[in-house]
Structure 1
Amino acid sequence: MEQTDTSGNPATFIIRPARLEEAAAICAVLRRSITELCVADHQNNPDWLDEWLANKQPEIVAGWIADPENCLLVAVAGERVLAAGCIKRSGAIMLNYVSPDARFRGVSRAMLRALEAVARRNGCREVTLTSTLTAHDFYLAAGYTDRDDALARGDSPLMGKVLEPDDTNRPAAGAAPARTSAANAAPKPPAQSDRRQRLGQALRENLKRRKQQIRGRASQGASQEARDAAAEAAGVAVPERD
């Protein structure tokens, strides 16, 4: 699927099925996109970032490519991977990440439409995804709606979109200006900016709770080690623990 850039210049990238030998390059794009473009979500917290990146490994990505239930697409310029997207036969979009080097070129928008086209060919009338805070406005502009109140709790929201049979070549209702990528939404009206600030605050509070949980688990482990050491010093047998 050949694409033109947002200025109407000749095609600068194509979207096609991923190849197994591209797993490492895809993985690198995923990790850079998350680390560099999704700071609003992970707040540069190393524990949360490590958790998010844990399954972004070449061998795991290769498994996603090989899984017949998945369709993993890449946007490439020559042999360079610019973005990756993955959708299941059920219509659930699992991935949609763009390289920081490919921002403002319409790559994310083109990838989203390609994933929706796959869903339509598979007979799906609806697509769903779990959005980041970073990409939430991007998906709203593409016609997706929230399916739960997760954002109000500072969690990643489930979103969905009903696919119309003839909307492949028609701009989504309320679409943002063309120079928009999943990690860089267009400027929003004040009402949306205020909402984004509130959601960001909820996300930071959620992150604070998770950090406290992590510290609590670490403290609990340290306390147990101290109790074991005291028991051994007193000559009491200490059971082995995993």
Structure 2
Amino acid sequence: MSDHRGDAATLSMWLSNKTVNNMRRWIATHAVHVAVDDEQIAGVASVRSDGFILLNYVAPEARFKGASKSLLRDIELWASRRGLEWLALDSTATALRFYLSSGCTMIGPPQPASG
């Protein structure tokens, strides 16, 4: 994956907040959507009440099977029902093409991130 280039330190930093306790907290305090394929979790997305997408992850084996589109569509419907006029996120380099092809607009120049 181009985002972490196999770098253990970068992966560790990205995964540091993906804990059981944080996931429980996100489920309790944010909207969490799950994509399922053949009874297996294919992806998970989380969005704050203000429309900021905190997480939109799809398992590598589920890529290009519609899980990402399904999660984004679910988030958009959730936001629309709440009267939100926009959604925002920080995209990885890998996901940027997907978001742009899904109609998202880049509002700032790429910023260096962990790794």
Task: Please indicate, yes or no, whether the TM-score normalized by the shorter chain is above 0.5.
Answer: yes
TM-score with structure 1 setting the length? 0.45
Runs of 5+ consecutive residues of structure 1 not aligned to the other structure: 1-38, 157-205, 208-242
Instruction: Please show how residues 127-138 of structure 1 align to structure 2 within 5 Å.
Output: 127-138=87-98
What displacement does 1:91 show? 0.9
Runs of 5+ consecutive residues of structure 2 not aligned to the other structure: none
CA distance in 2, matches of 1:117, 1:91: 11
Does 2:39 align with 1:59?
no
Instruction: Please show how residues 155-194 of structure 1 align to structure 2 within 5 Å.
Output: 155=112
108, 114, 128: which one aligns with 2:74: 114
58, 61, 76: which one aligns with 1:101: 61
What displacement does 1:95 show? 1.0
What displacement does 1:101 show? 2.3
Instruction: Please show how residues 77-96 of structure 1 align to structure 2 within 5 Å.
Output: 77=37, 79-96=39-56
**Pairs aligned (count):** 115
CA distance in 2, matches of 1:47, 1:103: 24
CA distance in 2, matches of 1:77, 1:135: 20
Runs of 4+ residues deviating >4 angstroms? none
CA distance in 1, matches of 2:79, 2:108: 22
Q: Which structure's residues are more often helix, by fraction?
A: 1
CA distance in 1, matches of 2:10, 2:61: 24
Does 2:2 align with 1:40?
yes
Does 2:44 align with 1:73?
no
What displacement does 1:117 show? 0.6
Measured against aligned partners, the alpha-carbon deviations of 1:2-57 in whole angstroms (never above 9, x if no partner) come to xxxxxxxxxxxxxxxxxxxxxxxxxxxxxxxxxxxxx2111111111111110111
Does 2:75 align with 1:144?
no
What displacement does 1:84 show? 0.4
CA distance in 1, matches of 2:102, 2:78: 16
| Identity in percent | 37
TM-score with structure 2 setting the length? 0.91
| Larger relative contact order, structure 1 or 2 (CA cutoff 8 Å, min sep 6) | 2
**Larger Rg, first or second structure (1 or 2):** 1
Q: Which amino acid aligns with 1:64?
A: W
CA distance in 2, matches of 1:76, 1:43: 27
Q: CA RMSD in A?
A: 1.6
Give the match's secondary structure for 2:2: helix
CA distance in 1, matches of 2:36, 2:11: 26
Measured against aligned partners, the alpha-carbon deviations of 1:103-157 in whole angstroms (never above 9, x if no partner) come to 22111111101101101111101111110000001100111111111x1x5x25x
Q: Which amino acid aligns with 2:24?
A: A
CA distance in 2, matches of 1:141, 1:73: 21
Q: Which amino acid aligns with 1:50?
A: S
